[in-house]
């Protein structure tokens, strides 16, 4: 597995070594030891989630505050998404900056998102199936969110926002300046 660092501290891209032959393919999708050699990440995953969505669905920006922040390992099983994170760690060199990457069933890249990032994605293909691991259980009382189209953030979602399919909840999220955030 190739572990690729980003300009954001702790934010990693995992590129598996895919072994292909006439039977199909095989790859190791997670190796805790390899990740720990590249980052100060030592928390085991405790919950897996999976979501299927249609083209132009936009989910996010979501995070969990303390005491139950969630690190996530995101991958796509079918289709393609534009995956975006926003650094909400006050005092970070990349605070209030976003980073995006295309994750797809074809490229098999994975995104390891540490605590202190808001996360969202837009579906680029007719359908997409997203699978992700979390290092903390979902906790509704710790739930946080930021409005996906906050003009101050200027996030490029790689889809036409006027055609986006967005939940009522995500349309009502606060602007960044008004969001509750416990990350220092």
Which amino acids are annotated catalytic?
62, 132
The span from the CA of 118 to the CA of 6, in Å, is 16
116: left (phi over 0), alpha (psi -120 to 50) or beta: left
The span from the CA of 153 to the CA of 161, in Å, is 15
Locate tokens 């289709």: which residue?
79
């Amino acid at each position: 597995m190739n572990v690729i660092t980003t300009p954001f501290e702790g934010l990693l891209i995992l590129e598996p070594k895919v072994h292909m032959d006439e039977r199909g393919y095989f790859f190791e999708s997670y190796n805790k030891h390899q990740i720990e050699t590249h980052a100060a990440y030592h928390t085991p995953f405790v919950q897996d989630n999976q979501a299927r969505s249609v083209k132009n669905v936009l989910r996010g920006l979501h995070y969990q505050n303390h005491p139950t922040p969630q690190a996530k390992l995101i991958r796509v099983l079918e289709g393609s998404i534009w995956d975006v994170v926003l650094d909400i760690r006050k005092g970070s060199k990349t605070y209030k900056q976003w980073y995006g990457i295309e994750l797809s069933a074809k490229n098999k890249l994975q995104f390891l998102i540490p605590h202190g990032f808001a996360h969202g994605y837009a579906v680029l293909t007719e359908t997409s199936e997203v699978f992700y691991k979390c290092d903390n259980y979902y906790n509704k009382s710790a739930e946080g969110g930021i409005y996906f189209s906050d003009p101050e953030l200027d996030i490029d979602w790689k889809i036409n926002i006027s055609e986006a399919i967005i939940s009522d909840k995500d349309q009502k999220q606060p602007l960044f300046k008004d969001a509750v955030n416990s990350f220092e």
